[in-house]
Structure formats: C-alpha cells, structure tokens
Structure 1
Amino acid sequence: MQSPSRRAFLVGRRADRSPWEAFLARLRRAAQGQVYDFSTPAGSARLVPGHMQDVYQARALCHEYGVTLALDSIPSPALLDDAPVLWVEPGSAMARYERLGADDPRWFVQPGCLVGELESAGLPQFRDQPPHLTVAAWLADRRSCDWDRGQTAASGLVHAMVLLADGTQANLGAFGVDNRKPLDNLRVQAMIPRLFELNASALAAAPADADALWDARYRLDALSPAQESTLNLSHLLLGHGGELGWVEWLVFDERQGIPAERPYESRYGHRAGSGAAASSTDQAVRALFDPDGLFPSQGQQFGHFYGVDA
C-alpha cells in the first residue's frame, strides 16, 4: 500500500486556495441555484438563486470573505472591478406575483418578477418602463423611481421585506399612530429616530427654489410625504441603487400607482447648490443601513452617465 507521503510526492501538493476560490467553492456547495465565475483578477461571479435561502447563504459568505453583494441587471451599474464582487440576479425561481385576495387591489411581488408582467397585470406605475427589468432592478433604479419630493406614494409601494447587511429582515411599511409594526424590529426601531433627524437636516439644507425636487441619493423625503399621503418606510428604498439591502418581496397597491414623469437628470440639477449637504446625508443613511459595507457604496454610475456630480 502506498503511503500518503509518497502519494503526495508523486502527484504534487495541492496548491492552497485563494480566499476567492474558497468563497466560490463554499457558495457552490451551499447554493441550489447557478453560480458563474467571470475569472476576473479581483474576483467576480454571478449567482442566480434557486431559492431565497441561497441569498441568505450568499450574504453570510460575502460578509465572511469581504465580498461585495451587488444586485445584478440594474441600469447603468457601477463597474465594481477593484474588489471581489458577487452579482446576484433574481431569476425565474423568485418571480411570483399575485393578488393578496380575489378583490384585493394589493399585489404580492417577488424581486425577479418582470416589470412588463406587472404592467400587463394592470399596475400603472410600470407604464413605459423597460419591460425586461426585474422589479428589484426597477426599485433600485433612480430614473425609474424619480417622483417629486414628498410624492413617493405614487410608486404604489406599500410594503417591503428587506434583508439587511447583518442578516436582519426588516419589515418596512406604513408608519404612524395606527401602524407601529416597523417597531417590532429592534434594528429598524434604532434606525427610525436617526432617519427622521437626517431628513430634517436635508430639508433645512435644500435650496429655496428646489421645492419639487429631491436631490439626495436616498429618498428620505418619504419621511415627509404630501399631506394626503401616509408615511411609509418602504419608500426609503425607491431608487436605492442596490446600496441599502436586498429586497425579498414587495406589496404594491394598484390604486395608488402613477408613473414617474420627471426626466432623471432634472432631479439632480440642484446638486451644485446642495451637493455637499446631500452627500453627507447620503453617507449617513447608508451607514445606518449597511455599516459594514456589504452592498456597493455606488451601485449605479448615474453621475458618469448623466453628467452630474455623484
């Protein structure tokens, strides 16, 4: 019988795996879906989950190995080629959508559902949007979610379940005297007072002639809705660029949806007057949602593509 030492001498020692190779090997063992390695110098791969459990596993491994978890297929994505990144694309296994009841105007929607399917189902906020976009990509895209300040209720979004960077699942929905459900989550409970403080600071720093515009990266104006609208924490995710969390599922109300009509460039037209304040606020919001930097710090290259200082 050949000894282990002689066998190792004959076949050579196995080279130690790099952290990226170890990450991919563990992801492939854990995931039900497909994993594709792009073989880039820094490390880049795509995961198409077979189940939400794949995303949970990916989040934990990305956190352990220092890999960025990025939403795939958003318009104008940042390159993210300087550090290891896992692009996660919600596919057909996460594409269910259905009414909550026979006569209910609300729709349960998974992140891989296509925008064209939702428009065909009768949800007006998806009119004239790229039909091939997943609803997760639509929600992340700042152009698609570019409603005027305080008008985020026009998105028709009424609830979102979000996986945060630390593995917490946050229930984000209507918030007020009659609905305190978000306070059931200790992580969200700790975030809410600080978010209101940041919104007050952002409003105070806004240019006097920008009443209809919201020029910050994240929609803190959701905390100051128009008088006829209900404050809804899920609206913080509109146009978030894939930078605040991973959306597990959404609920839309077909009665509330109105397409966003303002050209994407115009929402950032006032950055020359309030860019520093907006940038500082953006960084603070991101730090509340993702203090460890699991998600991209810039998911979209909107500044590069639209000639605006990002």
Structure 2
Amino acid sequence: MNQPSPFRRAFLMGRRARRHPWEAFIRSLQGQVQGEVLDFGWHGGSGRASWTPIDDSDVATAAALCREYGILLALDGLDYVNTLSNESVLWVVPQSPIAACQVMPGPTRRWLVQPGCLVAQARAAGLMQFEAQYDYLTVAAWLADRRICAWPTGQTAHSGLMLANVLLADGSSAVLGPFGANSQASLDTLFLQRAIPQLFQLSNGLLAQTCQENSTWPARYRLDAMKPQAPQQVNLAHLLLGHGGDLAWVQWMVFEPVPVLPQINTSEPFRAPETLADDDAVALAATELDAAVKALFDPVGLFPHPGQQLD
C-alpha cells in the first residue's frame, strides 16, 4: 500500500507546532551536557532553570547555548538577590565533583581550589581567609559576594587569591594572576592582550582616581587591584573579588594562606555605588567605572548585568 507523501501527511495531520525557544534551549542543554537540569518553566515572559554540572568542561558548552538563545548564565549560591522578571536565566550550581581543594606541589604552599569547594572544606585545608565565613558557601560564591570581599581600597592581596582561570563571555578562557616587572604571566590570549592596556588606562583615569581616594572602594568591580598598596604587586585575579558573577565564570582558583586578616566590616549588606557614596561625584565615577569594566569583560551580556539581581 502506498504511503502518503510527507507533504500530504502534513496536510492531513496539520503542521507541527514550532517548539518554543525556551523548550529548545532546555532540550539542547539536556542533550549536550552531563548533570541534572531542572526546568522551572517559562512564566511571565522569561524562563528559569538550574543545572548542576558533573564535568567542569561542560560549562563552556552551556555558556555557548546561553549565548545562542539569549539566556543569562548565573552563579548559584549568592544570597543577596531580589527579583529580575524580564530575562531568562540558567543558574549553574557548582557542587561536587567540581569541588577539589588540594595542596599544589612546589616550595610555596598554595592550594588549587575548584568553584564548588565549600568554605568549610577550604578552611579545614588550612586557608584561614575563610575563617568566620559560612560553612555552606562555595568558594565561587565567597569570591563573588561583594559583602565578603570588602577589603579596604588597595588591599585586595589580603584575600590570598593568586590565580583564577576564567571562562569569558566570548567562550575563550584566560588565567588572571600577578602582573608586573617580576611576573611570569603569559599574554597568550587575545582577551589579555586587549584588556590589560585598557585596564591600566582605566585605573589611571579620573574615574578611578576619584574612587581611589575612598578608604572603602565604592565601585562594584575591584579596579583598585591595578594600584595595590606597596609592597604588593598588581594581580588581575583580584578584579574578581566581589564581582557578583557578573564578569566571568571562574573555573578554578589558586590561593595562598593568609596568616593575619584585617578587620572587615561586613555587618551591612552590599549597597550599590549610588547609595554607598555620599558624594555625588564619587557615585557617578563608580557607576561609570563599573560600566567600562563590565563592557570589557562581557560585551555580549552573557552574565548578569551590573545592578541586576536574580530570583
């Protein structure tokens, strides 16, 4: 018996409804990455989902899909959030097995830490900069939390952060670390070759100078890391301290122990630059400086935008 042609079947049965972009995104994600994907659905013009990777290399795949479908890639575990109603979000939950914290070989005691490592685990390993922090926090959330990473202006070295390997919005990776006369840092990525001159230009500009005069750094992103207090040297990884997950996805970090921690006032929640500074000129400078740093790291808007807070 002759079968009807595809065109005739389509005529008899009707055209198949076109898949919603959010549904297509979820199906593509489930088909291309390992780990649990929880789809919370499409409501009010935006979608929500969370994903717990079991292979950190899959994050690049998920980020590529987010770029393709116009989805924000957001770090899970930050607790200062409110509501964002108009954009779709994929929350990435950095849990085991991307949670290593291990001593690195060599004469200097340093630890390789993955984003899903818990603060309690890092502290037990000997990293006392995590003293008095919540045990349940991941180190990725600790690094992104602006209230915690609130060292005074020019004193970001107290974090003990030495290196950070990041996945950038364009899909490339870069290792951020010490940069100076004695640095062995490699500028073998297009991002670093382009970004470093611009970061130094920003740090020497009037906007940064206005912020630098405050004992508490008033901007969101720690560009004061480009002008540290002596004898510390510039460390590009310190730009990520308190970055809120807005600039990049952190794939791994290297810490050294910090024997003495300064007193940091974290009793108040993080406030945006426009409310942190009493001087309107400082608030304006901080806001414009943040916009310039954000545009440099994330021109395509893959990560949450400055001031956006996600539910």
Q: How many residues align?
A: 300
Specify whether residues 29 and 142 from structure 1 end up closer, same or farther in structure 2 by C-alpha distance, changes over 3 A only: same
Specify whether residues 207 and 130 from structure 1 end up closer, same or farther in structure 2 by C-alpha distance, changes over 3 A only: same
- The answer to whether the Cα contact below 8 Å between 2:40 and 2:49 also exists between their aligned partners in 1 is yes
- The answer to whether the Cα contact below 8 Å between 2:112 and 2:255 also exists between their aligned partners in 1 is yes
User: How many Å separate the matches in 2 of 1:54 and 1:141?
Assistant: 24
Answering whether residue 295 of structure 2 is matched by residue 296 of structure 1, we say no
Residue in 2 that maps onto 1:249:
252
Residue in 2 that maps onto 1:170:
174
Question: In structure 2, what residue type is equivalent to 1:214?
Answer: W
Specify whether residues 257 and 80 from structure 1 end up closer, same or farther in structure 2 by C-alpha distance, changes over 3 A only: farther
Which 10-residue stretch deviates more, 193-202 or 219-228? 193-202
User: How many Å separate the matches in 2 of 1:257 and 1:142?
Assistant: 21
Q: Aligned runs of 1:25-36 on 2, under 5 Å?
A: 25-36=27-38
Question: In structure 1, what residue type is equivalent to 2:26?
Answer: L
**Per-residue deviation, 1:102:** 7.5
**Per-residue deviation, 1:204:** 2.3
User: How many Å separate the matches in 2 of 1:207 and 1:255?
Assistant: 24
- The answer to whether the Cα contact below 8 Å between 2:163 and 2:253 also exists between their aligned partners in 1 is yes
User: How many Å separate the matches in 2 of 1:175 and 1:196?
Assistant: 11
- The answer to whether the Cα contact below 8 Å between 1:164 and 1:290 also exists between their aligned partners in 2 is yes
Answering whether residue 271 of structure 2 is matched by residue 271 of structure 1, we say no
Gap regions ≥5 residues in structure 2: none
Residue in 2 that maps onto 1:228:
231
Q: Compute the RMSD of aligned alpha carbons.
A: 2.3
Answering whether residue 151 of structure 2 is matched by residue 147 of structure 1, we say yes
Residue in 1 that maps onto 2:16:
14
Q: Aligned runs of 1:59-208 on 2, under 5 Å?
A: 59-101=63-105, 104-201=108-205, 202-206=207-211
- Among all aligned residue pairs of Structure 1 and Structure 2, give the percentage whose two residues are the same amino acid: 49
Which 10-residue stretch deviates more, 232-241 or 6-15? 6-15
- TM-score, normalised to structure 2, is 0.89
SS at structure 1 position matched to 2:255: strand
Question: In structure 2, what residue type is equivalent to 1:165?
Answer: A
**Per-residue deviation, 1:7:** 5.8
User: How many Å separate the matches in 2 of 1:207 and 1:184?
Assistant: 30
How big is each residue's C-alpha offset from its partner over 1:128-176, in whole Å with a ceiling of 9 and x where there is no partner? 1111011111100001101001110000000000000001111101111
**Per-residue deviation, 1:40:** 3.3
How big is each residue's C-alpha offset from its partner over 1:9-30, in whole Å with a ceiling of 9 and x where there is no partner? 7765432101111111111000
- The answer to whether the Cα contact below 8 Å between 1:105 and 1:255 also exists between their aligned partners in 2 is no
Residue in 2 that maps onto 1:239:
242
**Per-residue deviation, 1:293:** 0.5
Specify whether residues 65 and 159 from structure 1 end up closer, same or farther in structure 2 by C-alpha distance, changes over 3 A only: same
Question: In structure 1, what residue type is equivalent to 2:18?
Answer: D
- The answer to whether the Cα contact below 8 Å between 1:150 and 1:225 also exists between their aligned partners in 2 is yes
- The answer to whether the Cα contact below 8 Å between 1:96 and 1:110 also exists between their aligned partners in 2 is yes
For 1:40, which of 37, 42, 51 is the aligned residue? Answer: 42
User: How many Å separate the matches in 1 of 2:290 and 2:211?
Assistant: 14
Residue in 1 that maps onto 2:218:
215
